[in-house]
Structure 1
């Protein structure tokens, strides 16, 4: 486990939950996750779910991704995806608005790993260096990803070599995010 990443993710999640509570007077709320089972669910209302982060209860590894592509996933990425169950969290990084992707449940963890494998297979086919996504933007072609070789957080245009470094590390990136509630 990468303690810096775990601490930075936990701190951002707490900032997000606190900002939501301050603005709306409730736990974070999601309409997209309504009806999807998760240990995070604290209540429901009018086709929406309220949630709070919960400890990750599965084996904390992306072994399925590593095995499928015969790679070693860097510790910060392993930690990011296996530290907690939580809802996706909108945020800003500087002027950029993004959604920080999270694992919602045990079933979602399998789906996330399948999507990461598909992303890495496409990159391998296109002869691009391996990245794993951690966030989305409004543009469906752009994602926030982490280079599995350098650990840098990138703005990446899918299927191209267009990559812009946003931060030297995952912990630094998470520390500079502001909740968007």
Structure 2
């Protein structure tokens, strides 16, 4: 596993949870995840869940993506998707608001891998180099991804060649993220 990426992710998650604690006096809450089982859930109330990150003690890889697409996924992406279970977290990167995607449970990790496979199939069909998404933006057409060839974090418009490099690595990107509450 890519320890640098895993450490950068857990450090950002700690900053996010600390900011939430400071602002709201509680662990993070999510209405979107209400009713969805997870080891992260502390309690449920009024159609939202209070959650805290938990280490993923299961498989530490996204090998299903590798097998389905016959490609080797960057080690940083294995670490990103399997270091922990957590709710999605909102953040800023150089003034751009985004939602950092996280896996919520073992079942969610399987769903995420299926979505990554679908994303890669579309790219292959369009003859685009492979990327794996890590965050969403307000625009439904744009996502933050990791280029599987270079390891760079990019902003891309889905289904096009429009790609802007944001950071040289996933660890660098995560280190520069600021929580947005």
TM-score category of the 2 structures, normalised to the smaller one = over 0.9
Aligned to 1:28: 28
Q: Is residue 2:70 matched to residue 1:58?
A: no
> Where do 5+ consecutive residues of structure 1 fail to align?
none
Aligned to 2:41: 41
TM-score (norm 2): 0.99
Aligned to 2:123: 123
* CA RMSD, 1 decimal: 0.4
Q: What is the rounded CA distance, in whole Å, between the counterparts of 1:94 and 1:15 in structure 2? A: 17
Q: What is the rounded CA distance, in whole Å, between the counterparts of 1:165 and 1:3 in structure 2? A: 23
TM-score (norm 1): 0.99
Post-superposition Cα deviations, 1:24-74, rounded to whole Å, max 9, x if no partner, equal 000000000000000000011100000000010221111110000100001
Post-superposition Cα deviations, 1:97-132, rounded to whole Å, max 9, x if no partner, equal 000000001110110000000000000000000000
Q: Is residue 2:130 matched to residue 1:107?
A: no
Q: What is the rounded CA distance, in whole Å, between the counterparts of 1:108 and 1:100 in structure 2? A: 15
Number of residue equivalences: 181
Aligned to 2:144: 144
Aligned to 2:78: 78
SS of 1:12 mapped into structure 2: helix
Q: What is the rounded CA distance, in whole Å, between the counterparts of 1:65 and 1:136 in structure 2? A: 20
Q: What is the rounded CA distance, in whole Å, between the counterparts of 1:140 and 1:163 in structure 2? A: 15
Aligned to 1:16: 16
